[in-house]
Amino acid sequence: MQIALQACSAQHPSAQATVAPALKAIDLALAQGEQMAIIGPSGAGKTTLLHLMACALKPTCGQLLLDGRDPWALRTADLQRLRGQLCLAPQVPPLPARQRVITAVLAGLLPGMGLWQSLGNLLYPRHIDLAETALARFDLADKLFERVDRLSGGERQRVGLARLAVAHARLLLVDEPLSALDPERARQACASITAVAREQQATLVATLHHVDMALQHFPRIVGLRDGEVVFDLPTVEVTPERLTDLYARHLDELTGVPPLPDLSLASTPAVTLTCR
């Protein structure tokens, strides 16, 4: 999927018109299959950038192009089909309390289903093996038929991530996937998310407050502050000095940073994301 962001700025829908844009002229380029983490202090615009890429938020200026087309110029049905090729995992997954875990996970298949298939899947879930395998990646296979309201916050977050393994999307967008997880579960979740993306040859973009997890599991890091890209570098070039500068006013958020790993970018087919 060819993706381009050109001179894009964006504002959260709830913000007043007089408030400065949450994103300002972002300029990025990605290759298909690439895995990139976006880090930065609270309020940097990380979630807004993710929603812009997911076609959930319309640019206030500039242009977003997917396969050379402006999604906001498409007919509603075409836009919905396009969104079906993307998978956005929000920080707090929207899981109905009385829903079974198997149904919540298999919701990742809904974009590829017709109306009657979708309704049938709600009543009598199929693809049980697929859901169980996806949950096993996050150590939740034993929760397959559990009700969502009986899960802990961390378990609910991992159920939301398990959807990625069944979605088979071309672009995986993951927002703060580790906020409710302990360090060991966080490492497991990061490893599982990146493995799913590699297996599906999908592009992966994740926003992370956990800087140490970003450095350990992602080969490329984008530092965002005040809606602007401060750096866009291979992980091996993200020095402690750069991180200190990025978090200059929020050093309390910069904790647990390990020595930089020697990560190399796997050779994969290409998706481009450009914004001028």
pLDDT for position 35: 96
Residue 133, in any domain of the structure: no
Residue 117, in any domain of the structure: no
Distance CA 39, CA 222 (A): 6
Per run of 10 residues, the mean pLDDT along the chain (length 276 residues) is: 76 57 84 93 92 90 81 90 89 87 87 50 69 95 94 94 92 93 94 96 94 96 94 96 90 62 41 42
Residue 43, in any domain of the structure: yes
Residue 52, in any domain of the structure: yes
List residues bridging with 205 in a β-sheet.
36, 173
pLDDT for position 219: 97
pLDDT for position 256: 59
pLDDT for position 253: 76
Residue 98, in any domain of the structure: no
pLDDT for position 122: 54
Residue 103, in any domain of the structure: no
Residue 45, in any domain of the structure: yes
C-alpha distances out from residue 14 to 11, 17, 74, 173, Å: 8, 9, 24, 22
- Residue 17 sits in a domain whose CATH number is 3.40.50.300
Angle at 271 between CA 167 and CA 216, to 5 degrees: 75
C-alpha distances out from residue 47 to 40, 54, 176, 178, 256, Å: 11, 11, 8, 14, 22
C-alpha distances out from residue 196 to 11, 59, 76, 170, 225, Å: 31, 29, 30, 11, 29
Pairing of strands 220-225, 35-39: parallel
pLDDT for position 251: 74
Give the full edge-to-edge strand order of the sheet including 3-10.
Answer: 23-26, 3-10, 61-66
pTM of the model: 0.84
- Number of domains comprising the chain: 1
Q: Which domain holds residue 261?
A: 1-86+171-177+193-276
Residue 155, in any domain of the structure: no
